Amino acid sequence: MVSPVYAMRRLTLYVILALLATMPAMACTVPYNAGELARNLIRQINNERARLHLPDFEVSPKLTNVAQTHACDNASHNRLSHIGTDGSSPGARVLRRGYDFHFVTENVALGYETPKQVLKAWLYSSSHRQNIFEPRTEELGVAVALGRDGRMHWVMNGGRR
């Protein structure tokens, strides 16, 4: 038979665990030079596109906002995913921010320290490379956030209205 004290401690532990599970994620930590990192990555992406005679991406504030929100979501939960913790897809997140699109793409990366490293990884991945060189994409938003473990979470959202 379980003692009343043990049962109470066990119940208290379950309540604490339940409360912790429902608490909002830790606030997003953005590197002090996040804007510079994003601009540098966009410049490098546009340089790669120029080699194939593709036009530069225009920076979209809405897509940048979507990318930052998803980078923070991934970072706050120490995960790498195209699906948001609320179950959202890249298209759903873009629409939620008022970006009515005909076409949308997303690249994510985790753990790379520099824009050059991120771009190199994306160029070696066929699906990420395809998003970078996709001729239907006209606009871009790039963002980065720091995970609780200190690793950098990168997100690139591309689109065409």
Tell me how far apart the alpha carbons of residues 87 and 129 are, in angstroms, rounded to a whole number: 25
User: Is the Cβ–Cβ distance between 46 and 57 less than 8 Å?
Assistant: yes
38 pLDDT exceeds 90? yes
120 pLDDT exceeds 90? yes
Residue type for position 72: C
* pLDDT at residue number 40: 96
84 pLDDT exceeds 70? yes
Residue type for position 144: V
23 pLDDT exceeds 80? no
Which letter does DSSP use for residue 8 in this model? H
> What is the distance of C-alpha 70 from the center of its chain?
4
Tell me how far apart the alpha carbons of residues 125 and 65 are, in angstroms, rounded to a whole number: 25
12 pLDDT exceeds 50? no
* pLDDT at residue number 8: 53
Q: What is the pTM of this model?
A: 0.81
